[in-house]
């Protein structure tokens, strides 16, 4: 079965402020159980943008054959569709980490938050397994965190004929706030 990869290539913030502590929250289909989703935050530590970055983070270094920020790598779903949502946040706290975030999220989800696992989708990030029915509550839980909300972008992909003969396809979209744009790529190995 082929492997699919999701990488972030560039983040641009469309706000006048020049100092940010940015992080992503990723919610994706569980690779083996259709009734579950997985959730993580990345990167750890968070991205610190300073004025000289001009509100842009380029995750893909210069050169041939380079990759961006690996978000996930997993087997192609049998229906060739993969549902992934990305939330962007600015941390107002200088000290946050993935482990504490996932523990807090698990506590908020009560019986809909299951185990924290690692290496489930080809990254070293820990992922919280959650019930699919809990996905609508994620926004409510995030609203309780006193960080600036940049909204959500769907990076859902149907791996159709446009992937035949292509190494990767780049996509981009603004987050729902309109305050940032994400460029990502899907590829089939």
Give the distance from CA 13 to its chain's centroid.
16
Identify the burial level of 76 via C-beta atoms within 10 angstroms of its C-beta, where 0-12 means exposed, 13-18 middle and 19 or more buried.
Answer: middle
**Mean pLDDT of the 16-39 span:** 94
Is the CB of residue 185 less than 8 Å from the CB of residue 171? yes
pLDDT tens figures, 31-49: 999 999 999 999 988 899 9
Query: 159 CB contacts (<8 Å, ≥6 apart)?
Result: 4, 76, 80, 81, 82, 186, 188
pLDDT tens figures, 72-114: 999 999 999 999 999 999 998 766 678 888 888 888 888 888 8
> What does the pLDDT read at residue 10?
97
Query: 107 CB contacts (<8 Å, ≥6 apart)?
Result: 113
> What does the pLDDT read at residue 174?
98
Please state, as a whole number, how many other Cβ atoms lie within 10 Å of the Cβ of residue 45. Answer: 13
pLDDT at 71 over 70: yes
pLDDT tens figures, 126-182: 999 999 999 888 888 888 888 999 999 999 999 999 988 887 899 999 999 999 999
167: left (phi over 0), alpha (psi -120 to 50) or beta: alpha
Identify the burial level of 54 via C-beta atoms within 10 angstroms of its C-beta, where 0-12 means exposed, 13-18 middle and 19 or more buried.
Answer: exposed
């Amino acid at each position: 079965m082929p492997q699919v990869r999701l990488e972030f290539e560039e983040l641009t913030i469309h706000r006048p402020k020049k100092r940010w502590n940015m992080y992503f929250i990723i919610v994706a289909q569980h690779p083996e159980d259709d009734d579950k989703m997985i959730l993580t935050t990345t990167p750890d530590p968070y991205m610190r943008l300073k004025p000289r970055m001009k509100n842009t983070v380029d995750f893909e270094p210069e050169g041939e054959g380079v990759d961006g920020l690996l978000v996930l790598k997993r087997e192609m779903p049998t229906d060739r569709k993969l549902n992934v949502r990305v939330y962007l946040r600015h941390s107002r706290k200088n000290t946050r980490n993935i482990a504490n975030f996932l523990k807090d999220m698990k506590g908020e989800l009560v019986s809909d938050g299951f185990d924290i696992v690692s290496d489930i989708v080809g990254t070293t990030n820990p992922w919280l397994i959650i019930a699919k029915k809990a996905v609508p509550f994620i926004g409510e839980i995030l609203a309780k965190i006193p960080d600036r909300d940049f909204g959500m972008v769907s990076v859902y992909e149907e791996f159709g004929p446009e992937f035949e003969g292509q190494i990767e396809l780049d996509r981009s979209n603004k987050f729902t706030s309109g305050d940032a744009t994400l460029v990502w790529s899907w590829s089939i190995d």
